[in-house]
Amino acid sequence: MFIYKKVVLLGIILHVLMFISGCSQIWNASIGGETLEELQQRDYEDLIQYEITDIDRNIKCKDYVLVNISQPMMDYENAEDCTLESENIIIYRGGNYVVYGKTDECRLIVNTYDDEIVHLFLTDVEWKTEGGPVIYVEQAGKVIITLVAGTENIIFDDAGHSSDIQACIFSNSDLTINGNGKLSVYGYYHDAVRSKNRVKVIDANLYIKSQNDGIRGNDGVIFENSTIQIESKGIGIKTKSEKGYVVISGGICKIIAGENAIRADNYVGIYGCDYTFSSIYEAVQCNGKKELERSVK
């Protein structure tokens, strides 16, 4: 009887071991040539893939339309490209637009086909609006803002307006800022720079001050070799998506924030950047993966 119990017990143990071994084999089984673990890692990496293209880097200007914001009533060279409606300068067609002057009476609206690229070249603009965002991208494939070398550009909105478009520069499409000039954006109403897709800043010099968030790209924010200074009462750099990521490569980044310096759900990566973050709450808040590497001097 005792021997029988031992045999039964041994059989149960062997069965359990075989079950555990089977589970391990299932877990590590290949799916299309990859293990489940490898597949999960690959899918995660896919979430943070992005590309900085030659279009994003382009700072050359040719075949352009001049937009003098100091005289918004002027006749533009091609009314089919750019026109004035209710004190709003409206761009209807993709292309290059050189924007210059000083005003507190109008704003710029981009409303093109959703596959067109609009390239704005800012050259010493001082621009304020009272009824909403200074630059509003209603529709476009992509908008690039180039800060012309040797120029200083200042953009700010009004704290008293009640627009549903809650940023000084607001884009419904991908937004790229590049160039060797300087841009200061004051979001006195809410956010300073905001895109429903991604924000890329390449080789640029930005100063951001905001009542709420400094720079927000719902899908992602990418900085490359740029000098960024942000002062915000809310979050310095923010994404608003479960796949959202922030990647900072090279350059200098200084953030003073009333909440977090950076907040992203999926990923935050900082590589070779001289950064300083001061915030009330956790400097870098991320529910996913964080890789923070300082520049080596």
Question: Pairing mode, if any, of strands 82-85 and 88-91?
Answer: antiparallel
Residue 132 has pLDDT above 90, yes or no: no
Residue 220 has pLDDT above 60, yes or no: yes
Residue 155 has pLDDT above 90, yes or no: yes
The alpha carbon of residue 265 and the mean position of all alpha carbons in its chain are separated, in whole angstroms, by 14
Burial 188-198 (b: 16+ CB within 10 A, else e): bbbbbbbbbbb
| DSSP character string of 113-161 | -TT-EEEEEEEEEEEE-SSS-SEEEEE-SEEEEEE-TT-EEEEE--TT-
* First-last CA distance in the chain: 77
Instruction: With H, G, I as helix, E, B as strand and everything else as coil, classify residue 173.
Output: coil
pLDDT at 137: 98
Query: Stretch 77-102: mean pLDDT, rounded?
Result: 84
Residue 187 has pLDDT above 90, yes or no: yes
Q: What is the amino acid identity at position 157?
A: D
Residue 219 has pLDDT above 60, yes or no: yes
Compute the C-alpha angle 266/57/172, nearest 5°: 55
Residue 79 has pLDDT above 80, yes or no: no
Burial 159-180 (b: 16+ CB within 10 A, else e): eeeebebbbbbbbbbbbbbbbe
pLDDT digit string, tens, across residues 261-290: 999 999 999 999 999 999 999 999 999 999
**Residue 32, Cβ density class (10 Å: 0-12 exposed, 13-18 middle, ≥19 buried):** exposed
Q: How confident is the model at residue 138 (pLDDT cuts 50, 70, 90)?
A: very high
CA distance linking residue 73 with residue 77, whole number of Å:
12
Residue 50 has pLDDT above 90, yes or no: no
Instruction: Please state, as a whole number, how many other Cβ atoms lie within 10 Å of the Cβ of residue 25.
Output: 9
Residue 20 has pLDDT above 50, yes or no: no
Write down the mean pLDDT value for the chain: 85
pLDDT at 126: 97
Residue 91 has pLDDT above 80, yes or no: yes
**Residue 8, Cβ density class (10 Å: 0-12 exposed, 13-18 middle, ≥19 buried):** exposed
Residue 43 has pLDDT above 70, yes or no: no
Kindly state the percentage of the chain with pLDDT values over 90. 67
Residue 75 has pLDDT above 70, yes or no: no
pLDDT at 39: 37
Question: Pairing mode, if any, of strands 64-68 and 252-257?
Answer: unpaired
Q: Are 210 and 187 in contact (CB under 8 A)?
A: yes
Residue 165 has pLDDT above 70, yes or no: yes
Residue 121 has pLDDT above 90, yes or no: yes
Residue the block writes with tokens 């710029």: 108
pLDDT at 16: 41
Residues 6+ apart with CB under 8 A from 177: 144, 145, 146, 147, 183, 193, 199, 200, 201, 202, 204, 206
CA distance linking residue 30 with residue 11, whole number of Å:
30
Q: What is the pTM of this model?
A: 0.83
Instruction: Please state, as a whole number, how many other Cβ atoms lie within 10 Å of the Cβ of residue 98.
Output: 17
Residue the block writes with tokens 């000084």: 168
Instruction: Determine which of 98-112, 134-148, 252-266 has the lowest per-residue pLDDT on average.
Output: 98-112
Residue the block writes with tokens 């300083």: 276
